[in-house]
Protein backbone atom coordinates (compact mmCIF):
# COMPACT_ATOMS: atom_id res chain seq x y z
CA UNK A 1 0.00 0.00 0.00
CA UNK A 2 0.96 3.66 -0.18
CA UNK A 3 1.38 6.25 2.58
CA UNK A 4 0.51 9.89 1.88
CA UNK A 5 1.62 13.08 3.63
CA UNK A 6 0.29 16.53 2.70
CA UNK A 7 2.11 19.80 3.28
CA UNK A 8 1.97 23.42 2.20
CA UNK A 9 -1.20 24.58 3.88
CA UNK A 10 -1.44 27.82 5.82
CA UNK A 11 -3.11 31.20 6.19
CA UNK A 12 -3.38 33.42 3.13
CA UNK A 13 -5.34 36.51 2.17
CA UNK A 14 -8.06 36.38 -0.45
CA UNK A 15 -6.55 36.59 -3.91
CA UNK A 16 -3.35 34.92 -2.80
CA UNK A 17 -1.77 31.61 -3.76
CA UNK A 18 -0.61 28.41 -2.10
CA UNK A 19 0.91 25.20 -3.40
CA UNK A 20 0.07 21.99 -1.63
CA UNK A 21 2.25 18.91 -1.90
CA UNK A 22 1.40 15.27 -1.33
CA UNK A 23 4.42 13.03 -0.77
CA UNK A 24 3.92 9.31 -1.28
CA UNK A 25 5.91 6.39 0.06
CA UNK A 26 5.49 2.65 -0.08
CA UNK A 27 4.44 1.05 -3.32
CA UNK A 28 5.25 2.46 -6.73
CA UNK A 29 3.66 5.90 -6.94
CA UNK A 30 3.03 5.72 -10.66
CA UNK A 31 0.64 2.78 -10.27
CA UNK A 32 -1.91 5.05 -8.58
CA UNK A 33 -4.31 7.65 -9.85
CA UNK A 34 -4.49 10.52 -7.39
CA UNK A 35 -6.96 13.08 -6.16
CA UNK A 36 -7.39 16.13 -3.97
CA UNK A 37 -10.41 16.59 -1.72
CA UNK A 38 -11.35 19.16 0.90
CA UNK A 39 -13.60 19.35 3.91
CA UNK A 40 -14.87 22.54 5.50
CA UNK A 41 -16.30 22.58 9.06
CA UNK A 42 -19.78 21.09 9.14
CA UNK A 43 -19.64 19.99 5.52
CA UNK A 44 -19.00 16.74 3.73
CA UNK A 45 -15.70 16.02 2.07
CA UNK A 46 -15.81 17.20 -1.52
CA UNK A 47 -13.84 16.55 -4.66
CA UNK A 48 -11.35 19.18 -5.82
CA UNK A 49 -9.19 17.68 -8.56
CA UNK A 50 -7.89 14.39 -9.93
CA UNK A 51 -5.01 13.22 -12.09
CA UNK A 52 -4.30 9.91 -13.76
CA UNK A 53 -1.18 7.81 -13.28
CA UNK A 54 0.93 9.57 -15.90
CA UNK A 55 -0.34 13.13 -15.40
CA UNK A 56 -1.65 13.19 -18.93
CA UNK A 57 -5.30 13.38 -17.88
CA UNK A 58 -6.60 15.67 -15.17
CA UNK A 59 -9.80 17.42 -14.25
CA UNK A 60 -11.15 19.59 -11.46
CA UNK A 61 -14.40 20.63 -9.81
CA UNK A 62 -16.29 23.55 -11.33
CA UNK A 63 -15.77 25.55 -8.13
CA UNK A 64 -11.99 25.63 -8.63
CA UNK A 65 -11.70 25.39 -12.40
CA UNK A 66 -9.38 28.05 -13.79
CA UNK A 67 -7.89 28.73 -10.35
CA UNK A 68 -6.47 25.38 -9.15
CA UNK A 69 -4.11 23.09 -11.08
CA UNK A 70 -3.23 19.52 -10.15
CA UNK A 71 0.05 17.99 -11.28
CA UNK A 72 2.40 15.16 -10.34
CA UNK A 73 6.07 14.26 -10.57
CA UNK A 74 6.41 10.49 -10.54
CA UNK A 75 10.19 10.72 -10.25
CA UNK A 76 9.70 12.56 -6.93
CA UNK A 77 6.69 10.50 -5.79
CA UNK A 78 4.80 13.74 -5.28
CA UNK A 79 1.51 15.30 -6.36
CA UNK A 80 0.84 19.03 -6.22
CA UNK A 81 -2.12 21.39 -6.09
CA UNK A 82 -1.36 24.93 -7.20
CA UNK A 83 -4.09 27.20 -5.84
CA UNK A 84 -4.39 30.73 -7.20
CA UNK A 85 -6.95 33.50 -6.67
CA UNK A 86 -7.97 31.94 -3.38
CA UNK A 87 -11.33 32.83 -1.87
CA UNK A 88 -12.60 32.60 1.72
CA UNK A 89 -14.88 29.75 0.63
CA UNK A 90 -11.77 27.71 -0.21
CA UNK A 91 -11.05 27.46 3.51
CA UNK A 92 -10.94 23.77 4.45
CA UNK A 93 -8.75 20.86 5.35
CA UNK A 94 -7.28 19.53 2.11
CA UNK A 95 -6.63 15.83 1.69
CA UNK A 96 -4.76 13.90 -0.96
CA UNK A 97 -5.87 10.41 -1.87
CA UNK A 98 -4.71 7.50 -4.00
CA UNK A 99 -6.68 4.83 -5.80
CA UNK A 100 -5.57 1.52 -7.25
CA UNK A 101 -5.70 1.61 -11.01
CA UNK A 102 -4.72 4.14 -13.57
CA UNK A 103 -7.92 6.09 -14.19
CA UNK A 104 -9.27 9.13 -12.36
CA UNK A 105 -12.33 9.37 -10.12
CA UNK A 106 -14.20 12.04 -8.18
CA UNK A 107 -15.96 9.99 -5.50
CA UNK A 108 -14.35 9.52 -2.08
CA UNK A 109 -15.36 5.85 -2.10
CA UNK A 110 -13.12 5.26 -5.12
CA UNK A 111 -9.99 6.07 -3.09
CA UNK A 112 -8.47 3.58 -0.69
CA UNK A 113 -5.57 5.60 0.70
CA UNK A 114 -5.70 9.02 2.38
CA UNK A 115 -3.33 11.50 3.92
CA UNK A 116 -3.91 13.21 7.26
CA UNK A 117 -4.85 16.56 5.70
CA UNK A 118 -3.45 20.07 5.72
CA UNK A 119 -5.36 23.19 6.77
CA UNK A 120 -5.89 26.02 4.29
CA UNK A 121 -7.40 29.23 5.65
CA UNK A 122 -8.24 32.15 3.38
CA UNK A 123 -8.99 35.46 5.09
CA UNK A 124 -11.18 38.13 3.54
Partners of 68 in beta bridges: 83
pLDDT at 75: 95
H or E, element range at 26 = strand 18-26
Span 73-92, pLDDT tens digits: 999 999 999 999 999 999 99
Residues of the chain short of pLDDT 70, as ranges, are none
SS3 18: strand
Phi (first) and psi of residue 116, to 5 degrees? -90, -15
pLDDT at 101: 75
pLDDT at 113: 96
Phi (first) and psi of residue 74, to 5 degrees? -65, -25
Amino acid sequence: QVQLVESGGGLVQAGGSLRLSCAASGRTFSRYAMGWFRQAPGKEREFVAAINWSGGWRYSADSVKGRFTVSRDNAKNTMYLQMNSLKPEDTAVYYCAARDGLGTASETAEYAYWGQGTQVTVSS
